[in-house]
């Protein structure tokens, strides 16, 4: 009997977090950057606009995941339907490169933990080094697959709803070879991309999930303004393995102002965990 009781207590604590700060997408363009000491750096994001006050909330992301404190919880795997390739448009956006999937091709998953309904894969982008830390350590990069709850129609429609968004994070780790075809396709297209241009890209996002993998999950926020606390985070425990050359391609992408990411990174500093619980599937 002890194990079921423990599970119920953990489940209750997952929902008993502080009130979420839910900001909409600002109505006008908000400039922000990562350059320490600038007026628009991450320590000033909460004050850029009335709609970015969420950046000062108590359930923010990214976090430093204390793997030893993550609570084991029975969670299912995540898969997209339908299976197979999906296409979209890749563009640089001043903070990296973003692949926005075509609306009529978008895949869905029903497997986001602690959420009912379908979540639609809207876009993917990367950070380097990783935004989330595990036991105080960065990985070489982190892919973000951004989803909105289908009933809200779009990211803009979902961003100010408590259960509006889900982001799957896939850590990137440098080893001797890069065998993940979907990731290699993404990097090859980023390598050819020029500022102001766009490329059509086709890949299979299921390949990025490193299937049969366990994941961490917690309730947090967007890691860029407006920092809305509407995100169910799913972070794959095992990293996607790649090479130094491919990470170098990602870090050569210029941010607004012209410096490459290797000089002016695009990772927000970690935020306090506060009273949140990180679960790990098991």
Judged by the rule CB under 5 A, the positions of this chain that interact with Zn ion are: 144
- Smallest distance from Zn ion to CB 4, Å: 36
Identify which of residues 227 and 278 has a Cβ nearer to Zn ion in the complex.
227
Q: Which residue has the tokens 């102001």?
A: 196
Tell me which DSSP letter residue 27 carries.
S
Q: Which two tokens stand for residue 15?
A: 């929902």
Name the minimum Å distance from CB 28 to Zn ion. 22
At closest approach, how far in Å is the CB of 265 from Zn ion?
Answer: 12
Report the residue number, 132 or 144, with the smaller CB distance to Zn ion.
144
Contact 278, 216 (CB under 8 A): yes
How far apart, in whole angstroms, are the C-alpha atoms of residue 117 and residue 62?
A: 25
Taking the complex as a whole, the smallest distance from the CB of residue 179 to Zn ion amounts, in Å, to 24
Residue closer to Zn ion (CB basis): 61 or 180: 61
Q: Give 135: exposed, middle or buried? Use CB within 10 Å, 0-12, 13-18, 19+.
A: exposed
Let me know: does 169 contact 154? Beta carbons within 8 Å: no
Task: For residue 95, indicate whether it is catalytic.
Answer: yes
Q: Hey, which residues does 98 pair with through a beta bridge?
A: 91, 125
CA 11 to each of CA 8, 17, 35, 74, 214: distance values in angstroms, whole numbers, following the listed order: 5, 11, 39, 11, 18
Nearer to Zn ion, 73 or 232 (CB): 232
The number of C-alpha atoms within 13 Å of 19 and in the hemisphere containing its C-beta is 3
| Shortest reach from residue 16's CB to Zn ion, in Å | 27
Question: Quick one: 113 or 220, whose CB is closer to Zn ion?
Answer: 220
Alpha-carbon distance 278 to 239, whole Å?
A: 18
Q: Find the catalytic residue in 95, 127, 138, 147.
A: 95
Which residue of this chain has its Cβ atom nearest to Zn ion in the complex?
144
Task: Provide the annotated active-site residues.
Answer: 95
């Amino acid at each position: 009997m002890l194990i079921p009781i423990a599970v119920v207590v953990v489940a209750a604590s997952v929902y008993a977090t502080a009130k979420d700060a839910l900001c909409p997408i600002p109505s006008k363009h908000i400039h922000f950057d990562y350059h320490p000491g600038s007026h628009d750096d991450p320590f000033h994001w909460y004050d850029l606009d009335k709609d970015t006050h969420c950046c000062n909330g108590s359930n923010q992301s990214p976090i430093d995941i204390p793997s030893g404190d993550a609570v084991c919880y029975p969670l299912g795997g995540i898969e997209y339907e339908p299976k197979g390739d999906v296409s979209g448009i890749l563009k640089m956006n001043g903070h990296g490169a973003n692949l926005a999937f075509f609306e009529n091709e978008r895949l869905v998953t029903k497997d986001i933990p602690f959420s009912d309904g379908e979540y639609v894969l809207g876009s993917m982008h990367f950070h380097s080094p990783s935004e989330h830390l595990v036991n105080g350590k960065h990985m070489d990069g982190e892919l973000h697959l951004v989803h909105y709850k289908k009933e809200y129609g779009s990211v803009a429609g979902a961003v100010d709803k408590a259960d509006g968004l889900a982001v799957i994070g896939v850590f990137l780790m440098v080893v001797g070879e890069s065998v993940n075809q979907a990731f290699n396709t993404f990097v090859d297209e980023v390598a050819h991309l020029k500022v102001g241009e766009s490329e059509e890209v086709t890949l299979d996002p299921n390949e990025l999930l490193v299937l049969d993998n366990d994941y961490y999950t917690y309730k947090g926020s967007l890691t860029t303004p407006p920092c809305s606390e509407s995100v169910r985070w799913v972070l794959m425990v095992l990293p996607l393995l790649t090479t130094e050359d491919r990470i170098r391609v990602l870090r050569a992408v210029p941010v607004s102002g012209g410096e490459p990411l290797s000089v002016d990174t695009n990772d927000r500093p970690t935020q306090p965990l506060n009273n949140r619980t990180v679960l790990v599937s098991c």
